[in-house]
Structure 1
Amino acid sequence: MGIGKQAKRVLIASAGAVLLVVGVLLLVLPGPGLLLVLAGLLLLASEFPALERYVDPVRDRAMKAAEDSVSSPLRIAGSVLAGLALLAAGIVWGTVRSLPFSGWSTGSSLILSSAILFALLIWSYRRVKARRAEPAARRD
């Protein structure tokens, strides 16, 4: 195996491991934990085929969680408020120097989390909307 191929394998395995660990942390913290666990598993399974058996169950649960997050206007409103709170917290942590861990490194990570939350919310909403439109299209 060439050095370039080994480097690529190490890079993919490292990225997959980081996504998996962050996803597991986000299962108990606010954030898209299952989707990151899924992304990490997909990367790791591309290099380690023995992990493929874990992909489908995690994918099913992640998609169910994504659909549940937009299943009612109340849940959508809660997710939007959480995203806005993360955005505001990021701005506050970036500008107020008296807070613990203040600075733009913390602030930008909170703002990035907000952007990811909004992107996943939009993706989930579109996915559910398209899935609900399928039965109507079949009846026509």
Structure 2
Amino acid sequence: MARSPRQRRGRGSVFAGRTRPHGVGRILGLVVGWLLVLVGLAALVLPGPGLLALVAGLAVLAQQYEWARRWLQPVKRKAFAAAAQGVKSLRNIVISFLGALVLVLLGVLWGLDPPMPGWWPLDERWWLPGGWSVGSGLILSGLLAAAFIVYSIRRFRPVH
């Protein structure tokens, strides 16, 4: 029984109208896709653009997996709806940019590792642990958040 082009498997097979990557390209796509999904899931509860990273990861994985293609559209709709809501008013935009700025400033503070202040109630080992490894992550999150805010303004904010 002959298979349709959508059902063919193997090297260079057709998947949803596109040729599936193989070899190193496939492995790289899987690593990048899963990394973006994990970062997106973590950023849903930590500082960072969680839904947008999740959308990016699912978009990469959708090149390989049918389940990722099915999940991509609903997650993308939610991410874009949240992005549109975030730039709906000037107040929302200002608060979002201030949040991104706070992340960057906290990252710099964390990296510089100032001495523990007298008011800190915990042991000294709990004062800004991680140094620049944590600080650079906060700075990157703040810069990515600012970039996504600019993208959202350009994409979703109506021109007056």
Instruction: Please give the TM-score of this superposition, normalised by the length of structure 2.
Output: 0.74
Give the Cα–Cα distance (whole angstroms) in 2 for the partners of residues 25 and 91 of structure 1: 21
Give the Cα–Cα distance (whole angstroms) in 1 for the partners of residues 68 and 132 of structure 2: 37
Q: How many corresponding residue pairs?
A: 131
1:115 is aligned to 2:137:
no
Measure how far apart 1:106 and its partner are: 1.6
Taking only aligned residues, the RMSD between alpha carbons, in angstroms, comes to 2.1
Q: Which runs of 5+ in 2 are unaligned?
A: 1-10, 13-20, 116-126
The equivalent residue for 1:5 is 22
Percent identity of the aligned residues? 38
CA contact (8 A) 2:47 2:141 kept: no
The equivalent residue for 2:131 is 103
Q: Which runs of 5+ in 1 are unaligned?
A: none
Greater helix content: 1
Give the Cα–Cα distance (whole angstroms) in 1 for the partners of residues 36 and 130 of structure 2: 25
Query: Equivalent of 1:73, from 85, 90, 95?
Result: 90
Query: Equivalent of 2:33, from 16, 21, 24?
Result: 16
Deviates more, 1:45-54 or 1:79-88: 45-54
Give the Cα–Cα distance (whole angstroms) in 2 for the partners of residues 117 and 51 of structure 1: 24
The equivalent residue for 1:37 is 54
Measure how far apart 1:73 and its partner are: 1.8
Q: Which has the larger radius of gyration?
A: 2
Amino acid of the residue matched to residue 115 of structure 1? L
Amino acid of the residue matched to residue 119 of structure 1? A
Measure how far apart 1:97 and its partner are: 5.3
Give the Cα–Cα distance (whole angstroms) in 1 for the partners of residues 37 and 102 of structure 2: 25
Amino acid of the residue matched to residue 51 of structure 1? A
SS of 1:125's partner is helix
Give the Cα–Cα distance (whole angstroms) in 2 for the partners of residues 60 and 122 of structure 1: 19
Amino acid of the residue matched to residue 90 of structure 1? G
Amino acid of the residue matched to residue 105 of structure 1? S
